[in-house]
DNA sequence: CATGAATATTCGAATATCATAATGTAGCCT
DNA sequence: AGGCTACATTATGATATTCGAATATTCATG
């Protein structure tokens, strides 16, 4: 049942904080503390969302001393985010065109 | 807040039935009845999932007589599904390699 | 080995999602 | 108008997610 995988896959992407984490990791590896600061989110929340991303192999974790560095496991994940943005923008302009046609 | 959009966007993809609907529509326009049959799902469920896909502009609906034909609004949506599959397969083979290394 | 720093996990209540069942609506056809 | 077909919507109980608080773990250092 590959469909279930795909659904779980996308469901994991279906949270603003997790999207923000992945976007932040475009710049390279970051620690949990870095992510907390950038996202201005609770420690627990960041850690829980990272756990979700880890369990689906969206990110890799690398321990150095007491801190853990996270990175995106597969660069194709950013392709997904970019295609999503493209679709969004096409929707926007199509809606705008429809709106203007009604004027 | 574009992140929220992206999250909602992916959340909409985060259900097996909705993935199956989008995959079924690769062959072209289908009516709700067609989809019911192909997915062997309840009428209400199909209709509700279509409503979810409609609300996010994943699909277009076109009424002809008493039936409604659905189609995918933006072909880039299949790109998303395909990239997701690619990532999945890479994960699989990476896990397999790791497993074999442990033998 | 006691302490502190960084991160993870567990717990609980609030909220969201889902499936099923029931009801509503819109367009034929006679 | 009345009935039928094809969909859509609403209601409701069950399950899943999410957040913040509390607690636990892991590692370095004195």
Task: State how far the Cα of A83 lies from the Cα of A1, in Å rounded to an integer.
Answer: 25
Residue B101 has pLDDT above 90, yes or no: no
The radius of gyration of chain A from alpha carbons, rounded to an integer in Å, stands at 17
Of residues B83 and B97, which shows the higher confidence score? B83
- B3-26, pLDDT tens digit by residue? 788 999 999 999 999 999 999 999
- B50-72, pLDDT tens digit by residue? 999 999 999 999 999 999 999 99
Task: State how far the Cα of B34 lies from the Cα of A8, in Å rounded to an integer.
Answer: 25
Q: What average pLDDT does chain A have?
A: 93
CATH of residue B31: 1.10.10.10
Buried b vs exposed e over B53-70: b needs ≥16 C-beta within 10 Å?
Answer: beebbbbeeeeeeeeeeb
Residue B87 lies in a domain: no
Task: State how far the Cα of A71 lies from the Cα of A51, in Å rounded to an integer.
Answer: 13
Residue A51 has pLDDT above 90, yes or no: yes
Residue B10 lies in a domain: yes
Residue A68 has pLDDT above 80, yes or no: yes
The radius of gyration of chain B from alpha carbons, rounded to an integer in Å, stands at 17
Residue A27 lies in a domain: yes
Q: Give the protein-side footprint of strand C (Cβ within 7 Å).
A: A 31-33, 36, 43-44, 47-48, 50-51, 61, 66-68; B 11, 14-15, 17, 42, 44-45, 48-49, 52, 63, 65-66
User: For residue A82, what are the domain limits?
Assistant: 8-101
Residue A85 lies in a domain: yes
CA dihedral B99, A54, B13, A19 (to 10 degrees): -150
Q: Which of B3, B5, B13 sits opposite A10 (nearest CB)?
A: B13
Residue B39 lies in a domain: yes
Task: State how far the Cα of B100 lies from the Cα of A7, in Å rounded to an integer.
Answer: 28
Q: How many domains does chain B have?
A: 1
Residue A79 lies in a domain: yes
The predicted structure's pLDDT at residue B55: 95
Residue B49 lies in a domain: yes
Give all strands (DSSP E) within chain A, no chain letters: 30-31, 59-64, 67-72
Residue A28 lies in a domain: yes
């Amino acid at each position: 049942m590959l469909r279930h995988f795909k659904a779980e896959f996308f469901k994991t992407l279906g949270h603003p904080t997790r999207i923000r984490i992945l976007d932040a990791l475009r710049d390279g590896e970051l620690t949990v503390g870095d992510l907390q600061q950038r996202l201005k989110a609770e420690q627990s929340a960041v850690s829980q969302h990272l756990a979700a991303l880890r369990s689906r192999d969206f990110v890799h974790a690398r321990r150095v001393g007491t801190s853990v560095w996270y990175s995106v496991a597969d660069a194709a994940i950013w392709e997904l985010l970019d295609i999503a943005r493209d679709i969004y923008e096409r929707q926007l302009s199509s809606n705008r065109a429809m709106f203007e046609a009604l004027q």
